[in-house]
Amino acid sequence: MKQVSSSKKKKIIIYATLVAISIYVAYAIYLLVKQPTDTFTIEEGKLYQEETDIGYVIRNEKVVKGQNYKNGMMPIKSEGERAAKNENIFRYYSSNEENLKKKIEDLDNKIQEVMLNDTSLFTSDMKLLENQIDEKVEDINKIQDSTKLAEYKKQINSYVTKKAQIAGDLSPKGSYLNQLIEERKGYESQLNAGAEYVKAPMSGIVSYKVDGLEETLTPENFSSLSKEYLESLELKTGKLVATSEESGKVIDNFCCYIVTISSSEEAKKAEVGQKIKIRLSNNIEIPAEITNIIKENDTEVAMILKIEKQIQELINYRKISFDLIWWDDSGLKVPNQAIVKEDNLNYVVRNRARIFE
């Protein structure tokens, strides 16, 4: 039996290698012809398992209302501002307030005229008060917030009162200036005696958005928040809660809740304590936790979601639309059109400088 020479062996190996390369190239060309040849740019992306739901906002909030609510109210704390417990947040006007204010204003003009004509009354304290008044008057032209505007006017009135008191101390007893100052004190006492101040029952965010559901939609009443009851409220999604002219409220600024009804498979499998995310209308995603699950029927469940961020964004609403995000993941995001499917195998062809892998 003749042995094959080494040179022939090398030729056989070379031919076999060339045949293998030819087959691979032909197969690659076949795949490129068989599948679309569009090139997609792969970028970092994020995938979500989410659903869009309707939710009812539940807060720990306390409404406050005084006796003189028919007189109209003036905010001391502006909408969304924080207040400490027992701090004044607004007051009601006294029944004769406009008339008393007009009399005080007239007396202030007379007192100011007397002080301007008597230069002996001007001291370093008076000069300091004059400067403070001028600064406030200059700043007041730049303010648009009505609540801050009222506060600046209050401070100016306080400086004017201090000026009058200093002038009264320097002026001889029984003088015309003293008579004006005493008359002003009398009107001011009547004004303060008739005004009713309302204090915060707890610390939190002050709001004047009162809809009458503060005592019903509470964390203590979770068990009674059925789909039937919530729909019976006939609330419009995304509608702003109207501002009250008679009362205000203080809201817990640490957490609030959203109750939603869902029929998704994820909702049916959800568990108390499960961490999820929600996306509000401002597109900000915030963490949430499922604290209660109530089975409505065979296809729907009610879930109570606890949130501890962006609470101030929800003050204006009672019923909202939001995205409930069950899970999300980030990485290289590949379009479905770029995926090749063959023999139960899914893969992509990578193009690097016309080198396909």
**Cβ neighbour number for residue 214 with a 10 Å cutoff:** 19
Q: Is residue 229 part of a domain?
A: yes
> In this predicted structure, what is the pLDDT of residue 243?
92
pLDDT digits (tens, 9 = 90+) for 286-304: 999 999 999 888 899 999 9
Q: Is residue 77 part of a domain?
A: no
- Of 194, 216, 250, the position where a domain reaches its end is 194
Q: Is residue 15 part of a domain?
A: yes
Tell whether the model's pLDDT for residue 71 goes beyond 90: no
- Residue range of the domain that includes 102: 94-194
Q: Does one domain contain both 168 and 229?
A: no
Domains: count for the chain = 3
Q: Is residue 72 part of a domain?
A: no
Tell whether the model's pLDDT for residue 315 goes beyond 50: yes
Average pLDDT over the chain, rounded to whole? 82
Whole-angstrom Cα Rg for the chain: 37
Q: Does one domain contain both 340 and 329?
A: no
d(CA 45, CA 53): 24
Q: Is residue 14 part of a domain?
A: yes
Q: Does one domain contain both 189 and 243?
A: no
Q: Does one domain contain both 183 and 261?
A: no
78, burial (CB in 10 Å: exposed 0-12, middle 13-18, buried 19+): middle
Q: Is residue 89 part of a domain?
A: no
Q: Does one domain contain both 164 and 212?
A: no
Q: Does one domain contain both 304 and 340?
A: no
> In this predicted structure, what is the pLDDT of residue 202?
96
Q: Global pTM?
A: 0.64
Q: Does one domain contain both 244 and 284?
A: yes
Q: Is residue 71 part of a domain?
A: no
207, burial (CB in 10 Å: exposed 0-12, middle 13-18, buried 19+): buried
For the chain, the residue count is: 357
> In this predicted structure, what is the pLDDT of residue 1?
46
Angle between helix axes 176-194 and 97-117 (nearest 10 degrees) is 160
Q: Does one domain contain both 294 and 309?
A: yes
- Of 171, 194, 217, the position where a domain reaches its end is 194
Q: Does one domain contain both 305 and 245?
A: yes
Q: Does one domain contain both 209 and 61?
A: yes
| Neighbouring-strand partners of residue 306 | 257, 289
Report yes or no: 59 and 257 within 8 Å, Cβ to Cβ: yes
Q: Does one domain contain both 154 and 178?
A: yes
pLDDT digits (tens, 9 = 90+) for 206-245: 999 999 999 999 999 888 889 999 999 999 999 999 999 9
Q: Is residue 13 part of a domain?
A: yes
Q: Does one domain contain both 113 and 187?
A: yes
pLDDT digits (tens, 9 = 90+) for 153-210: 667 777 677 766 676 666 665 577 778 878 888 877 777 776 789 999 999 999 999 9
> In this predicted structure, what is the pLDDT of residue 263?
94
Map residue 338 onto helix, strand or coil.
helix
pLDDT digits (tens, 9 = 90+) for 9-65: 777 777 777 777 777 767 666 655 554 456 777 778 777 789 999 999 999 999 999
Q: What percent of the chain has pLDDT over 70?
A: 80
